[in-house]
Structure 1
Amino acid sequence: MKSNYIFCSLILILIFSPLQSQNDYYFPEDVSFEESIPSPAEFLGYEIGDWHTRYSRLVSYMEKLAELSPNAQIQTIGYTHEKRPQIILTISSEENLRNLENIRQEHLAHVNPENSAGDVEKMPVIVHLGYNVHGNEPSSSEVSMLVAYYLLAAKDSKVDEYLKNGVFHIEPALNPDGRDRHTTWVNSNKGNPPVADNWDREHNESWPSGRTNHYWFDLNRDWLPLTQVESKNRVAFYHKWLPNMVTDYHEMGSSSTYFFEPTKKYGSENPIVPRYNYDTLNTIFAKYHQESLDEIGSLYFTGERYDNSYPGYGSTYPDLHGALGIVYEQASSRGYVQKTGSEDITFPFTIRNHLRTSLATIQATIDKRELLLNWQRKFFKDIRDQGLKEKKLHVYGNEEDPGLTKMFTNLLLDHQIEVYRIEDEVTAGDKTFKPDFAYAVPEGQAQNLMVKTMFDKVTSFADSVFYDTSAWSMALAYGISNTEVSSGRLDLGSRITKEDIAANVKIPAKSDYAYLIDWSQFGASEALYYLLKNDVNIKTAFTPFSIETDTGIRKFGYGSLMISVADQSVTPQELYDLVKKASGKAGIRVESVASGRSALGIDLGSPELKDIELPKVVMLTGEGTSGYEAGEIWFMMDTYANMPITKVDRSDFKRMPLNDYDVLIMVSGNYDDLEKERIESWVKNGGTLITQRTATQWAIKNELVKAELKEQKKEKDSLLRMNYAKADNYYGSRAIGGSFYKADLDITHPIGFGYEDRELSIYKNSTVFLKPGNNPFNKVAVFSSDPYISGYIHPENLELIKGSAAILAEQNGRGTVIMFSDNPNFRAMMLETHKLFANAIFFGSVIF
């Protein structure tokens, strides 16, 4: 063991000995640098690779380069959840930087098919060098400093050509919060000499690891849904420039080598991206990457693994915008040096490989500048023309919930999709779209591929194995009512801007009797929490009714909230002020009534209106639980309900005062060592337990409920024989990577409150299948007999989904266990099913 540590130390010493400087190790031979520009090592006080650099020091180095070099400018495009600046260092020639805004405008005009083409001989190519989207894949952020140093200090005629013909935007860390979490862990556990044993603490971060951002989200999945502030800032900058080349740097398992595109042909590619992108551009750039790694003797592989189909990846989103996005994967040292079998992998080695492919990408982009510029223009023109030829319009909107319509419209506008008013009412089947509540999106526009991404249901695939999701319709995810019509059927009004859909909530009229809130509004949960925490007494309707309000007779469905003026501890004026503030904060309508007598259905004094109490919510987190799922719940309750929930590490469960809480949330995880008797007793005494995915399995297997799992029958001794080489594909095709299914929702059940339509779109990416059971009243949602909507599913799994339960709510004593077979908050984009989860929190205690 001791000899191994000494060997690792010698590796690092030899790499940066005086005989072989840092520059000689990292950069190609015969490159010298201007002394007026400090190297990263000179600025930081240590050699690159000796320490993991804190994000603030990365920013400071980029700021110093912008201060010292006339070829660099720096800007902040926004701030992370933890208030770290998201910076971009822009590098180009002095002349280009003086005319940077003109270059940007000319570039956008060139790619716009409505304008005449620009003179590509004189136009610089736009390059976005993005690094470190997963915080614990740290080598590429170190590379960002070396690349910036090279472009600004290298004495090389090639660099002059680069700066003349290119504008380079360097984003040193796409996930600053996660990077600093990992950097702190690694640096604080660094050994001296370094420890290569992969069991050492240095190589094994504590939960939730630095991969994710503040809310434990994978930002490399968020380019499409744009739930996180970092992604919103980044995509806004992206569309400000529409770059021609975008890099997406990652790390993979330590025992691997290096990967660059192309990915697996057809199977790992987005089905609507033009073949030219994959067959021509990828092939051209791969040659440069191959030569850069051959030169230093690094092993690599291409054409296999690494899904490139999901539009929310940093390497796929550019492909949908006429750019070339490339994913790079380097075997990770997960620290400073790690034992990998035949040899040890060091942090400097990982940095060098990523640096060399970065420099190769720069060279390729400049060499193929005109090709890339011409392709991007052709891309947008072809995409627009194809849409004009197909003559399709997507009409969407939700009259009952204009807030949700606004949220969906904002998402479309963030992706620069053209949205228009409709002049006439549109009827399709049983759906009616009215001009004041609906909008139209034509496919005949430059962003046609993004339109298809938002609305289309993907049902055909070249492969059956997916690294990630196989369905991504945001219209399905939002549950937004929509239809497809011919553009010849409809006259379009003016184009919509964000100012057009800015919140314009009607101020509630003051009432001396009661206020009513339609629970179908997406923001209703935020209003409910605000009012409950301010000690307002509220009841929810278990039966629909219609009643005269200050705006006429209105219908109120299951779950509608009633706030009686007389039944309060505050004065009528104080209550009105609270109601008015809740309406404004949540962006919802609040109706005022002068009488409790309904026009139809129950009156406001009916026993069918039941009291709602402020729930005290705790969620188990920590080692052994899914950080993704926990983070999604944390984020969505923070963002959409403005409601704090307590996050407790599962290792603290034994000493946690469980009786202080009304609701316990368990996400996917390993709970075998948990005191199930304690949880069962708490539920029987009135607690609400909410489980999802494997936590639901745990509750069933530990008999907290009487529900049963639906499992595939397996032959004990099968005669089936297959080639071993097919094993990965065989088992991979039977995984559920993520797809949409229809379920029938009981909208009269408290968990179904607020839904107008019984047909529900559920996103499934688990192999948890629930038997509906014998109780006819606890089957909240059941998958239909023909459930498939979109995404890949193996026929055997589809049979298991058919007729299985999506949500069960089973009583146990005075409490309730609410079981989700899947994750209703998936990536915080599933607004269609998030209301179910909010209902479980607020209404779980009133299920009887």
Structure 2
Amino acid sequence: MKKPLLSLLLGIFLCYNSQAQENYFFPGEKFDPAVPSPSEFLGYKIGEWHTRYDLIVKYFEKLDELSDMAELKTIGYTHELRPKIILTIASANNMANLKEIRLKQLQLADPSQPKPEVSGMPAIIHQGYGVHGNEPSSAEAAMLTAYWLLASQSDLAKELRENAIVHFDPTVNPDGRDRHSHWANTNKGFPPVADPLDREHNEVWPGGRTNHYWFDLNRDWLPLAHPESQAKIAWYHTWYPNVTTDFHEMGTNSTYFFEPTKPYGSENPVVPRKNYDDINVRFAKYFSKYLDEIGSLYWSKEVFDNSYPGYGSTYPDIHGGLGLVFEQASSRGHVQDSQRGEVKFEFTIRNHVRSSLATMEAALDNREFMHDYLREFFETAISEGSKDPARNYVFGDEFDDNRNHLFVQFLMDHQIKVYENTSDLTLGGYNFKKGKSWIVPTSQPQYRMVRTMFEEVTEFADSVFYDASTWTMAHTYGMPFAAGPSLKLGNQIEDNSPKAFTFPEDKAYAYLIDWADYFAPKMLFDLKEAGVHVEIVNRPFTSQTQDGPVEFAAGTLMIPMGFQKMSESNVKDALKTLAAVNHQQVYATSTGMNLEGIDLGSNLVGTVTAPKVIMVVGDGVSSYEAGEIWYLLDSKVGMPITKVNSDQMNRVNLYDYNTLILPNGNYNSFSESVVEHLKDWINRGGTVISMKSASLWLNQKGITKESMVERGENTDPKELPFAVRSNFEGAKEVGGSIYMARLDLTHPIAYGYRRETLPVYRNNSIFVQPSKNKYLTPIRYTDDPLLGGYISDTNLELLKQSASLIVSPVGRGRVINFYDSPNFRGTWYGTNKLFLNAIFFGDKMD
């Protein structure tokens, strides 16, 4: 008899808890008892624990199971194989006609089709939560809001179900959320500790903000580097929601932020003014009303950046919808002290629930207006595009088929129309060859995204940037491009399959692989893993191949058949298989005597050493930059890399490795014994690849001896108003901008590049003089380097005197100093090769 009584008491307790919760979040509301609340389903009050992602998914699965007004779909998977889900809620009638509603929404967004009558079209609302894993209140709010929409008996909920389609993405970043949830739950006290110094409120490196590879997914809607974003954007373009939310958290001592953001200074230049001056203002009234009702403090029209297209709150603005960012003061755990008293987890959740409800009511009330705006947005895009002096953008790299393929696919993923170029063209100082170049017309519905990809912007309404001040994506791919007049278009690209090559079947003296292709480093690593002996030709030459005479640049890979441990047939089979996998063109030659340049047995030809790479991570190191390197080597090379925590370096024997990577960071925690071991290892032939501030630390330790650019006399005013301090000092920073650099094409760092100029990305104010050794500054800035983004006049002059990269000889070893960001956000395909050259050919650089 005890068990039934215990079960009864537990049921009464949970029911009481659930009712208390509902009264806190939804005072006075009545709910369908057939639909369990989140607290009933989970067995604890929302806010009592940080809910694991798998339980969030299971709760949404339960809603799907119980109601014909809910449908759950998996749209993709994270790196750690957690499902990316979308829960759709609408009336049973609308759910039965979901496909027809979706197609009508797509028709509305396509000016080539007749405009449908919008009076009967439901509002399409996309509620997005939790892109930053350690901003956890929003995912809890997602469960509560979905429950309310499905089960509430209020007039508003009923009207929303009848006249809206609401899509819930409860956690944009499931991997990061679970990392943070585990931390907060395992460090929770009983009772919870509010002291900000408590371990619960201070995650260990790298924290839960980022995804598996330590990337900020709220920057990835544009680059699409990761499966979470790729799945999200593919889904987004099947709906074109009228409203998209993006829920965040900020410092504990803040209150609550909603849009509008800072006028002009934080706005995207391609978004119509109507979005900022009209639509944002309409919706803000609802947010203030809902927060006023519960007495929550809030603010708007300040600080938060809405300009970078890769934000979850900005990308929708460039697609005819309204993107909305919300920021809640965080408890960073279950409860934390603030200047206004204790901030409790459930309080932070409630504020996001209120904004979720306000968003849906605003979208409902402005349903027809937002539909009309969606159509107007794409109609005006075509109209403005047809008046743009640039009628077309032409792009293409004649030497790198795979990078071309990646960029074309990237444009297509953003629904930009791309066409074949059917003739040889010369534009903007570039030669674009038929079959190796493409055309993007500006007169198309995605005109504003075309501008995002190709425009170079150097004038701004503000000089302080929360994030990157430029994002010309053609530059990130290192893609030659030029604006052009009206041109004859070839076929629109529908199938963007990688180029296939025929493998040479005749007997070969040696095989040759051009290093210019983006995936040549992966091919090299795969060959070394397969046991194939590979050499590098360090000067240009012309060889007789199966395709006749072919010119090869320095850095070409050579596989000599006379120096292989494997049998000739096994080498050939490995080459053929790996060439197909990596989409590489392999040339065969029957002689070592070249038609021009050095021969294949020259002393300027040498063996490629297999990289053995270790990278320092952990406290003091930029997790973003370390993650970019880790992701590059994993996803683009397939090369494992040893990651060692900075506080474990005293246990590392560097002689087990030939390359050490020091990402941007602070290394003052290294003991003197670690520093001495590092010095000895480099002196005996080791290669260090150091990034930005890591290079400054090496200089401070006397390992390298480079010199800073001398700053001129300080010309700042001696007195300024206190209120302008942030703007004045912030304008001195280099907040993410693009510059043209000049390469020494004979240096191994530049192997694979055929043009002397290359766009590079910089987001720091470290200015170092070129090396005193005239041969060892292989990358410098041009005389007029600024391509896009903000930089003060003073910093621009310092930059012109600076090096982009220096090789510092140290005994028999060297330090390769990167002062720019060659792997930024996983999207700088144009400069990845510089970094990979440092890994594969570091021992040949000094």
- TM-score bracket, normalised by the shorter chain, equals over 0.9
Contact 2:18–2:45 under 8 Å retained in 1:
no
Matching residue of 1:69: 67
Q: Deviations over 1:640-690 (max 9, x none)?
A: 111111111111100112110000000111111323221111001110000
Matches within 5 A, 1:546-585: 546-585=542-581
Is residue 2:518 matched to residue 1:519?
A: no
Matching residue of 1:654: 650
User: What code does the residue aligned with 1:313 have?
Assistant: Y
Matching residue of 1:54: 52
User: What code does the residue aligned with 2:652 have?
Assistant: M
Contact 1:734–1:797 under 8 Å retained in 2:
yes
Aligned CA distance change for structure 1 residues 817 and 510 (closer, same or farther; 3 Å): farther
Aligned CA distance change for structure 1 residues 102 and 220 (closer, same or farther; 3 Å): same
Aligned CA distance change for structure 1 residues 762 and 719 (closer, same or farther; 3 Å): closer
Is residue 2:438 matched to residue 1:455?
A: no
Q: Deviations over 1:278-309 (max 9, x none)?
A: 00000000000000100000000100011000
User: What code does the residue aligned with 1:570 have?
Assistant: M
Query: Displacement of 1:445 after TM fit?
Result: 0.3
- The TM-score with structure 2 as length reference comes to 0.96
Query: Displacement of 1:712 after TM fit?
Result: 2.7
Query: Displacement of 1:376 after TM fit?
Result: 0.5
Matching residue of 1:495: 492
Matches within 5 A, 1:25-44: 25-27=24-26, 29-44=27-42
RMSD: 1.5
Matching residue of 2:432: 433
Aligned partners of 2:804, 2:234: CA distance in 1, in Å?
37
Task: Give 2:82's match in structure 1, choosing from 81, 84, 95.
Answer: 84
Aligned partners of 1:80, 1:368: CA distance in 2, in Å?
35
Aligned partners of 2:483, 2:637: CA distance in 1, in Å?
32
Matching residue of 1:696: 695
Task: Give 1:108's match in structure 2, choosing from 106, 109, 114.
Answer: 106
Aligned partners of 2:158, 2:340: CA distance in 1, in Å?
42
Is residue 2:601 matched to residue 1:605?
A: yes
Aligned CA distance change for structure 1 residues 124 and 507 (closer, same or farther; 3 Å): farther
User: What code does the residue aligned with 1:495 have?
Assistant: Q
Aligned partners of 1:502, 1:221: CA distance in 2, in Å?
27
User: What code does the residue aligned with 1:276 have?
Assistant: K
Matching residue of 2:218: 220
Query: Displacement of 1:473 after TM fit?
Result: 0.6
Query: Displacement of 1:389 after TM fit?
Result: 2.5
Matching residue of 2:10: none
User: What code does the residue aligned with 2:481 have?
Assistant: N
Task: Give 2:339's match in structure 1, choosing from 338, 341, 348.
Answer: 341
Matching residue of 1:13: none
Matching residue of 1:400: 399
Equivalent position SS for 2:562 = coil
Aligned CA distance change for structure 1 residues 801 and 533 (closer, same or farther; 3 Å): same
Equivalent position SS for 1:704 = coil
Matching residue of 1:247: 245
Matching residue of 1:10: none
Is residue 2:414 matched to residue 1:446?
A: no
Aligned partners of 1:18, 1:813: CA distance in 2, in Å?
70
Query: Displacement of 1:483 after TM fit?
Result: 1.3
Matches within 5 A, 1:105-254: 105-254=103-252
Contact 2:258–2:325 under 8 Å retained in 1:
yes
Contact 2:253–2:340 under 8 Å retained in 1:
no
Aligned CA distance change for structure 1 residues 564 and 42 (closer, same or farther; 3 Å): same
Task: Give 1:636's match in structure 2, choosing from 632, 635, 642.
Answer: 632
Aligned partners of 1:127, 1:747: CA distance in 2, in Å?
52
Aligned partners of 1:798, 1:169: CA distance in 2, in Å?
46
Matching residue of 2:747: 749
Query: Displacement of 1:504 after TM fit?
Result: 2.2
Contact 1:785–1:803 under 8 Å retained in 2:
no
Contact 1:697–1:709 under 8 Å retained in 2:
no
Query: Displacement of 1:392 after TM fit?
Result: 1.1
Matching residue of 2:766: 768
User: What code does the residue aligned with 1:327 have?
Assistant: V
Query: Displacement of 1:773 after TM fit?
Result: 2.8
Aligned partners of 2:656, 2:168: CA distance in 1, in Å?
49
Is residue 2:792 matched to residue 1:794?
A: yes
Matching residue of 1:614: 610
Gapped regions of structure 2 (runs ≥ 5): 1-14
Worse-matched range after superposition: 745-754 or 406-415: 745-754
Query: Displacement of 1:19 after TM fit?
Result: 11
Aligned partners of 2:30, 2:551: CA distance in 1, in Å?
76
Query: Displacement of 1:508 after TM fit?
Result: 4.1
Matching residue of 1:483: 482
Contact 1:700–1:709 under 8 Å retained in 2:
no
Contact 2:513–2:587 under 8 Å retained in 1:
yes
Matching residue of 1:21: 20
Is residue 2:461 matched to residue 1:465?
A: no
- The TM-score with structure 1 as length reference comes to 0.96
Matching residue of 2:621: 625
Matching residue of 2:676: 677
Aligned partners of 2:396, 2:743: CA distance in 1, in Å?
21
Aligned partners of 2:639, 2:793: CA distance in 1, in Å?
41
Contact 2:405–2:496 under 8 Å retained in 1:
no
Contact 1:418–1:442 under 8 Å retained in 2:
yes
Aligned partners of 2:92, 2:386: CA distance in 1, in Å?
42
Matches within 5 A, 1:366-405: 366-390=364-388, 392-405=391-404
Matching residue of 2:314: 316
Query: Displacement of 1:710 after TM fit?
Result: 2.0
Aligned partners of 1:296, 1:423: CA distance in 2, in Å?
63
User: What code does the residue aligned with 2:462 have?
Assistant: D
Contact 1:509–1:591 under 8 Å retained in 2:
no
Matching residue of 1:419: 418
Query: Displacement of 1:18 after TM fit?
Result: 6.5
Matching residue of 2:473: 474
Query: Displacement of 1:502 after TM fit?
Result: 3.6
Aligned partners of 2:716, 2:603: CA distance in 1, in Å?
59
Matching residue of 1:294: 292
Aligned partners of 1:98, 1:63: CA distance in 2, in Å?
18
Contact 2:408–2:496 under 8 Å retained in 1:
no
Contact 1:634–1:645 under 8 Å retained in 2:
yes
Aligned partners of 1:47, 1:506: CA distance in 2, in Å?
63
Q: Deviations over 1:514-541 (max 9, x none)?
A: 1001011111000011111222211111
Contact 1:512–1:572 under 8 Å retained in 2:
no
Query: Displacement of 1:505 after TM fit?
Result: 3.3
Aligned partners of 2:644, 2:101: CA distance in 1, in Å?
52
Matching residue of 1:12: none
Equivalent position SS for 2:293 = helix
Query: Displacement of 1:125 after TM fit?
Result: 1.4
Matches within 5 A, 1:702-717: 702-713=701-712, 715=714
Aligned partners of 2:287, 2:713: CA distance in 1, in Å?
46
Aligned partners of 1:847, 1:787: CA distance in 2, in Å?
25
Equivalent position SS for 2:113 = coil
Gapped regions of structure 1 (runs ≥ 5): 1-15
Equivalent position SS for 1:235 = helix
Task: Give 1:836's match in structure 2, choosing from 834, 837, 842.
Answer: 834
Aligned partners of 2:496, 2:355: CA distance in 1, in Å?
45
Aligned partners of 1:633, 1:500: CA distance in 2, in Å?
27
Query: Displacement of 1:596 after TM fit?
Result: 1.2
Equivalent position SS for 2:412 = helix
Q: Percent identity?
A: 47
Contact 2:454–2:473 under 8 Å retained in 1:
yes
Query: Displacement of 1:34 after TM fit?
Result: 0.7
Query: Displacement of 1:718 after TM fit?
Result: 7.5
Contact 1:464–1:733 under 8 Å retained in 2:
yes
Query: Displacement of 1:512 after TM fit?
Result: 2.8
Query: Displacement of 1:506 after TM fit?
Result: 3.0
Worse-matched range after superposition: 763-772 or 576-585: 576-585
Query: Displacement of 1:393 after TM fit?
Result: 0.5
Aligned partners of 1:645, 1:510: CA distance in 2, in Å?
37
Matching residue of 1:809: 807
Aligned CA distance change for structure 1 residues 508 and 201 (closer, same or farther; 3 Å): farther
Query: Displacement of 1:342 after TM fit?
Result: 3.2
Aligned partners of 1:310, 1:452: CA distance in 2, in Å?
13
